[in-house]
Amino acid sequence: MTTGSPWFRATNEPEPEPIPADPYGAPSPYQEPAPAPAPYPYTEQAYQEPGQPYQDPAQAYQEPTRTYGEPTQAYQEPEPVYEASYATTYDAPRETPREDAYTPPYEPYEAPETPEAPRPSPRPSSDDTTVLEAVEPLPGPGRAERRRAAKGGGRGKSRRGGPPATTAGTPTAEPAAPLSRVEARRAARAAKDSVGVIASRAVGELFITFGVVMLLFVTYQLWWTNILAGQETDRAKEQIEDTWAKDDADKDDSKPGAFEPGEGFAIMYIPKLDVVVPVAEGINKAKVLDKGMVGHYAEGKLKTAMPSDKQGNFAVAGHRNTHGEPFRYINRLQPGDPIVVETRNAYYTYEMASILPQTAPSNVSVIEPVPKGSGFTGPGRFITLTTCTPEFTSTYRMIVWGKLVEERPRSEGKPKALVG
């Protein structure tokens, strides 16, 4: 063994190399770690205000002992604040503010003042219009500024070059800059109505005019023609009666061609309808029917008998609407109702026998000597009244037939049908 060597290491073993220390300061694994320092004794103490004498923590806080006394009175139900059946509003509970709560001072509300806009004053312009501008207008722009305004470069600026002024957050209307001649012409052309507007106005005026004309025409047909026809029939009756008074009472009216077309020769009475109308020769619309008279079928194939004939059918026609409308209510006649025809020499009384409510205008068999559909089986002395139907149209014809029951000379007076 080598002198000075430990007893457990052989003399021939080399010395172990020391382990280098950790460059970051970590302890060597072969060094005993230093003992940890003893913990600092900590005692829980109650908080004390600075400057106060020391107090034992055990006696710092004690729970106060509460004592409860007996209630002085029995519990009572609180009275209701309001009744649901009569309450109209509900008051929500309000919290009582704390004494130290901040209450802002009361300040009455004042509405902000609105600046008064400058009153416009009319100023006549060069194009005979009225331009509105402020009471105190700014000086007019120069020639250069007017050119810029005409080109569109200075539209958003004021006359003095700055932005429009505002007062209390409200923009003030800037007076419009005067337009150049070119712009004035363009504005005048733009203000003119377009072709479509002019055309629509023209069409509307035409429709209004057409409606007014139609209204006047209807008024003329339904009202004024009756007035004119009434005047015509009055004159025709007077003329017939004057003729009867002047001419010879023995004149024979039954001969063919005794009367000219449109000449009145008789007067028809329908007492039930309060109708008194002259009877003229022929059924010409303009000369007879439109004048309010009743026309006698006496032309060509439609020639019928006269009341004085001993046998035949005396057929007449009249308007049902407009132009006097003498046959408007013949549909109300009943069998037995009298129809009287007065001529120069006699009264001929017929009794209504039957009616045909509707037939074609081409049905001429209804005015034959023995009319078809009338119920007459043999020759006799008949009367036939024809008119248009339905009302205000001429689509069909209405036919009323009657049979002679009395022929009375005028010298003997009026028949019972007219006297009664």
Please give the structure tokens belonging to residue 54. Answer: 């020391």
Q: What's the CA gap between 279 and 316, in Å, rounded?
A: 8
Closest C-alpha among 390, 408, 409, 406 to residue 398: 390
User: pLDDT class for 189, splitting at 50, 70, 90?
Assistant: confident
Question: What are the b/e assignments for 150-176, b being 16+ CB within 10 Å?
Answer: eeeebeebebeeeeeeeeeeeeeeebe
* Residue 389 forms part of a structural domain: yes
User: pLDDT class for 77, splitting at 50, 70, 90?
Assistant: confident
* Residue 136 forms part of a structural domain: no
Domain count, the chain: 1
Q: Which of 319, 320, 323, 344 is catalytic?
A: 319
Residues 216, 218, 219, 225, CA torsion sign: positive
235 is annotated as an active-site residue: no
Asked whether the beta carbons of 263 and 280 are under 8 A apart, the reply is yes
Percent of the chain predicted with pLDDT > 90: 40
β-pairing verdict for 275-281 and 294-296: parallel
Q: For the chain, give the longest Cα–Cα distance.
A: 207
Q: What's the CA gap between 225 and 290, in Å, rounded?
A: 8
Taking residues 238-253, what's their average pLDDT?
A: 76
* Residue 260 forms part of a structural domain: yes
Residue with tokens 């063994």: 1
Q: Find residue 296's DSSP bridge partners.
A: 281, 316
Coil, strand or helix at 30: coil
How long, in residues, is the chain?
A: 420
Highest mean pLDDT, choosing among 42-46, 82-86, 140-144, 374-378: 374-378
Residues 332-347 pLDDT 10s: 999 999 999 999 999 9
Q: Is the pLDDT of residue 158 over 80?
A: no
Q: What's the CA gap between 420 and 418, in Å, rounded?
A: 5
* Residue 149 forms part of a structural domain: no
User: pLDDT class for 133, splitting at 50, 70, 90?
Assistant: very low
pLDDT confidence of residue 36: 66
β-pairing verdict for 338-342 and 166-167: unpaired
pLDDT confidence of residue 1: 44
Q: Is the pLDDT of residue 150 over 80?
A: no
* Residue 33 forms part of a structural domain: no
The one-letter amino acid code at 121 reads S
pLDDT confidence of residue 381: 96
Q: 231's torsion region: left (phi>0), alpha (psi -120 to 50) or beta?
A: alpha
- Return the higher-pLDDT residue of 14 and 245: 245
* Residue 366 forms part of a structural domain: yes
* Residue 113 forms part of a structural domain: no
Q: Find residue 278's DSSP bridge partners.
A: 267
328 is annotated as an active-site residue: no
pLDDT confidence of residue 96: 59
pLDDT confidence of residue 5: 46
Q: What's the CA gap between 125 and 195, in Å, rounded?
A: 28
* First-to-final CA distance of the chain: 190
Q: Which of 296, 323, 381, 397 is catalytic?
A: 397
On the 0-12 / 13-18 / 19+ scale of CB atoms within 10 A, 290 is middle
Question: pTM of the prediction?
Answer: 0.54
User: pLDDT class for 61, splitting at 50, 70, 90?
Assistant: low
- DSSP code of 248? -
319 is annotated as an active-site residue: yes
* Residue 255 forms part of a structural domain: yes
Range of the domain at 352: 232-419
The one-letter amino acid code at 384 reads T
pLDDT confidence of residue 335: 96
Q: Is the pLDDT of residue 401 over 60?
A: yes
The one-letter amino acid code at 247 reads D
The one-letter amino acid code at 226 reads N
Q: Is the pLDDT of residue 139 over 50?
A: yes
Q: Is the pLDDT of residue 40 over 70?
A: no
Taking residues 315-321, what's their average pLDDT?
A: 94
CATH number reported for the structural domain that contains residue 249 in this entry: 2.40.260.10
